Amino acid sequence: MNDIAHKLVAAAVEVSRRAYAPYSNFHVGAALLADNGEIITGCNVENASYGLTICAERNAIFAAVARGISSFKAVAIVADGDAIAFPCGACRQVLSEFLRADTPVYVASVKHPEDIHSLTMGGLLPHAFKFKE
């Protein structure tokens, strides 16, 4: 796996430690590589009203957009446990709004960050709903 993947996974692991997950105890981190080279991270933040919970991937995208960044070269997502946890459907849709179909998506577990699964945004969400191309 390339250096960018390892760097993004490391940033995602670091931010996953700051997740607020008192209900699921499932800590997730995401790291986006912006076109300008900056890395923007996000973690999941749960709420007693489960529908108000925000996933790490959306948290990272929203933080980037709030900073005026909306174009990305890659994303990494990590979660607790031994198994790789892929983004939920809502996060896939939000990511597809900002990532091109050929944008690399790296997924790993916090326990085994060296075991990185690589795919593209198009592979993660084929036939994404889009108003624009």
Nearest to 28 by CA among 81, 75, 67, 92: 81
Please say if 57 is a catalytic residue. Answer: yes
Q: Which of 57, 97, 114, 133 is catalytic?
A: 57
Give the DSSP H or E segment for 40. strand 39-43
Burial label for 36, CB within 10 Å (0-12, 13-18, 19+), is: exposed
- Catalytic amino acids? 57
